[in-house]
Structure 1
Amino acid sequence: MIRSMTSFADGEILAGELVILCELRSVNHRYSDVSVKLPDRLRFAESDVRRLIGEKLKRGKIECSISYKKQLSTQNFVVNTAVVEKLLAATQQIAEHMSAPQAFSALDVLLFPGVQQENETDKESLREKIITLLDQTLNKMLATRTREGLQLAELIADRCLKIQQLVVAGHARMPEVLNNLRSKLTARIVELVAEPNYDRLEQELVLMAQKLDVAEELDRLETHVTEVLHTLKQSEPSGRRLDFLMQEMNREANTLGSKSADREMTQISIDLKVLIEQMREQIQNIE
């Protein structure tokens, strides 16, 4: 199954007094590059997060952000009175050295780091919630990547069909190319010598025909196209293999162009390279 590497998914889950939020973004990349952002309170689950992402996504630059927020309906403010007393004592000392001390409210004190105490959380229960949420979000991302992958596969298959048509046209054109070459060389030699050596001419024609024969390149292009269509149906990630096949197909198209002794065959070579480049651009985004 062909999958795109570009996608986005998000989700959230309730974990006690917390709402855990997850965002996943992925773009194309040659290898697997995973970055994870977690708040300190959830840092203990990072290895599990990376493991699950690695199991589900085999290739791409993947950014995973997991955060949390407290539910307002269940949020309890537990004040660390020891910290408050030290804070007030410190502010009083500072105020003694100020010409015009600034007043501050109880809310200012409440926002000071360490004044509010967070309830202890059951890490194992929280870990399970994080993994459940991440698994759900990854499945959403996989569904999106699969839908986009099917669209890419259709575009590539359509271009493969056009390449096959050009290969057929190239095979059909070859006899005419060789006949035209024979006629031109024969006429040229007749002009140059009064009694041409037709046996030698025939040998030269055979050698030149071998150099200009592109049947092998056309056959290999057909083989590569068949392999591309076969690869599109595979279940495992196949972006790298498809990229390799594009390199091979481009090499054959270039050779075809360099051997071309005919305007129509040159045009076939150009059309082939255009189609191959279009496929290569799409394949860069396949897992």
Structure 2
Amino acid sequence: MTGYATAQTGGPAQGSSDAPQAALGLEIRSVNSRFLDLVFKLPEDLRGTEPALRELLSSRLKRGKVEVRAWIEGRSDSGPPAPNPSDLQRLVNLQDGIQAWCPKAAPLSVAEILQLTSRQQAQPGRWNDSLLTLAQTTLDGLIEAREREGQKLAAMLKDRLVQLRKLAKEAQPLVPELVAQQRQRFLDRWNEALGNAGADAASASAQDRALAEATAFAIRIDVAEELTRLAAHLDEIERLLKKGGETGKRLDFLIQELHREANTLGAKSSSLELTRISVDMKVLIEQMREQVQNIE
């Protein structure tokens, strides 16, 4: 299911040199997927939190391709931090000592100085607690967004259930009508074939044979069992939608069963009208299948 949430907080500790300007941000995006696929885009200072974030998201999400992006404003987004004078003085002293022993050693470049001072200023783990707390808040927002989408999907599925029930109701009276038509067709053919025989014999023979052929035909095209199972699947889907919770995989299975019944209905069809009903059912079921795969 799709969803989006973001949150931001201040620095991890009061009194630190960059607390007034540094801020931690977190963004979680979710798009449709049948399985849970977690992708993390974290700066170097926050890489250590990935296992805890993965465990947190896995405990509350079951489906979706989820992208988690975190950043530290005032550092990553605003360029490298300005080196502290004490760090610069320490590097100068080290450089002077090294060049005293190795006169040919090249002096440090600006890029190297920034890289070294940023490593010195980095404090691994100091953002961890703040990020995990922020992740709880952001995840709550994501789940709320997914729930709102879930309500819309449930409304769509209920509408398709109504349409499928209507099509099933249209199909029910067609089979007896088809059997009666086929029986009369058999009678007409037998009467025509036995027209030169006696009227009573021809009529009796034609009627018996037509009855036998009509019975076999009725058994072959009978879709009452398929319509009964289809109605049972529709009832179960409606029950799951009312119940809520983690129903995505159960709904996915029921949609497959609906598709199977609609296929059988089409295979047994002996009229254009029943074929049309089968095709319309499969169109609706396919629409449901695409959305059910998104429901958690």
The TM-score bracket by the shorter chain reads 0.7 to 0.9
Equivalent in the alignment of 1:34: 38
Provide the residue aligned with 1:101 in structure 2: none
Please list every run of 5 or more consecutive structure 2 residues that lacks an aligned counterpart in the other structure: 14-18, 196-201
Q: Does 1:259 align with 2:254?
A: no
Could you say what secondary structure the match of 2:141 adopts? helix
For residues 125 and 145 of structure 2, the distance between their equivalents in structure 1, rounded to whole angstroms, comes to 33
Q: Distance in 1 between matches of 2:44 and 2:172?
A: 66
Correspondence list, 1:44-63, <5 A: 44-63=48-67
1:87 CA drift (Å): 5.8
1:167 alignment counterpart: 168
Are the aligned partners of 1:25 and 1:64 in contact in 2 as well (CA < 8 Å)?
yes
Q: Match for 1:70: what amino acid?
A: G
Aligned equivalent of 2:121: 118
Aligned residues with identical type, % of pairs:
36
The two structures have a TM-score, normalised by structure 1, of 0.84
Report the 3-state secondary structure (helix = DSSP H, G, I; strand = E; otherwise coil) of the residue aligned with 2:68: strand
User: Structure 1 residues 122, 212: closer, same or farther in 2, change over 3 A?
Assistant: closer
Q: Does the Cα contact within 8 Å between 1:84 and 1:109 map onto a contact in 2?
A: no
Could you give the per-residue CA deviations for residues 131-155 of structure 1, whole angstroms, max 9, x where no partner exists? 1100111111111111111101101
* 1:259/1:119 CA distance change after superposition, 3 Å: closer
Number of equivalenced pairs? 270
Q: Does 1:11 align with 2:33?
A: no
Correspondent of 1:67 among 53, 56, 71: 71
Residue 260 of structure 1 deviates from its aligned partner by: 1.1
Task: Give the corresponding residue for 1:218.
Answer: 227
The superposition leaves residues 220-245 of structure 1 with CA deviations (integer Å, 9 ceiling, x where unpaired) of 11111111111112333222221211
Q: CA RMSD in A?
A: 2.7
Extract unaligned runs of 5+ from structure 1.
Answer: 97-103
Letter in 2 for 1:158: D
Distance 2:95 2:183 in 1: 100
Instruction: With the length of structure 2 as denominator, give the TM-score of the two structures.
Output: 0.81
Partner of 1:100: none
Question: Which residue type is aligned with residue 209 of structure 2?
Answer: R
**In the TM superposition, what whole-angstrom CA distance separates every residue of 1:234-274 from its partner, at most 9, and x where no partner exists?**
33322222121111111111111111112211111111111
Once residues 87 and 23 of structure 1 are traced to their aligned partners in structure 2, the CA distance between those partners, rounded to angstroms, is: 42
What's 1:193 paired with? 194
Residue-by-residue CA offset, 1:168-203 (whole Å, 9 max, x unaligned) = 111122222221111112112222234234323322
Task: Name 1:21's counterpart in structure 2.
Answer: 25
Residue identity matched to 1:248:
E
Contact 2:183 2:210 in 1 (8 A): no
Aligned 8 A contact 1:80 1:114 in 2: no
Q: Name which structure has the greater RCO, CA cutoff 8 Å, separation 6+.
A: 1
